Structure formats: structure tokens, C-alpha cells
Amino acid sequence: MLRKLLKLDWNAIYRDAGLNWEYIRDSERLHGERLYSIRVTKKFRAVVKRNENTVHFIIVAPDHDSAYE
């Protein structure tokens, strides 16, 4: 997954069905910044933020629901 991220530009990352980049609603209100969910594997998801050209991993969760807790 990390190799894949390094090969893609931002538009491709946003559109990639395998990564499934999703904005987490209310993240700005609750945490003061825009947070996103991406698929790491079929089971694991990560909460990330974008800072210019860098993706920062906040948490890697073993299932979809726990990524949002």
C-alpha cells in the first residue's frame, strides 16, 4: 500500500477504488483538522491527514468501525 501511495499523484489517490479515500465527517469540528479514512488492506483501515504533499498516519485500525472511534 505504501508503494502504491508513492506512485500516485493526489488526484489518483482520491479516485483509487482500492484505497477508498474518504473524508471523515465532523473531523474538523471535533479535532480541528480534516481527517480521512483509507483502506490499508481488506481488513485494516487507517485514519490519515494530508499536509501538502505528505500523508500522516494517525491510526491504523484492525477493522473499519474501530478506525472511527
For every residue of 11-26, DSSP letters joined together read HHHHH-TTT--EE-TT
Per-residue pLDDT tens digits for 7-24: 999 999 999 999 999 999
Is pTM beyond 0.85? Reply is no
What is the pLDDT at residue 26? 87
Instruction: Please report, for residues 49, 54, 61, 62, the alpha-carbon distance to residue 29 in angstroms, rounded to integers and kept in the order given.
Output: 15, 22, 22, 25
In angstroms, the CA 20 to CA 40 distance is 9
Per-residue pLDDT tens digits for 38-66: 998 888 899 999 998 899 999 888 865 65
